[in-house]
Amino acid sequence: METTKRSVLKAVLWNALGLVSMTLTGFLLTGSATVGGALAVLNTVIGFVVYLIYERVWARIAWGRHV
C-alpha cells in the first residue's frame, strides 16, 4: 500500500508540472501573464485536491494488485 506522504509528494510534483504548462498555455491563449497565471493556479489547486483524493481511493482498492 502506498503511504500518504508518497501520495502527497506525487501530487505536488505532478501539479508543479501542470502549473508550468498551464501558465504557458494560459499566457499563449490570453496574451496576459496575470490571467494565464491565475488560471494556472486555480487549475493547480483544483487538480491537486482531486488527484490526491483519487490516489488515496485507489490506494484502498486491492483489485489488480499482486502481493
Would 64 be classed as within a structural domain? no
Would 47 be classed as within a structural domain? yes
Whether the predicted pLDDT of 1 surpasses 80: no
Would 67 be classed as within a structural domain? no
Would 65 be classed as within a structural domain? no
Q: Mind listing the pLDDT tens digit for each residue in 2-55?
A: 788 888 898 889 888 988 998 999 899 999 999 988 988 898 888 888 988 998
Number of H helices, E strands in the chain: 2, 0
Axis crossing angle, helix 4-30 with helix 33-59, rounded to the nearest 10: 150
Please tell me the total count of domains within the chain.
1
- The whole domain housing 31 covers 4-59
Contact 24, 53 (CB under 8 A): no
In this structure, the chain runs to a length of: 67
Please report, for residues 44, 59, 63, 64, the alpha-carbon distance to residue 41 in angstroms, rounded to integers and kept in the order given: 5, 27, 34, 34
End-to-end CA distance of the chain, in Å? 10
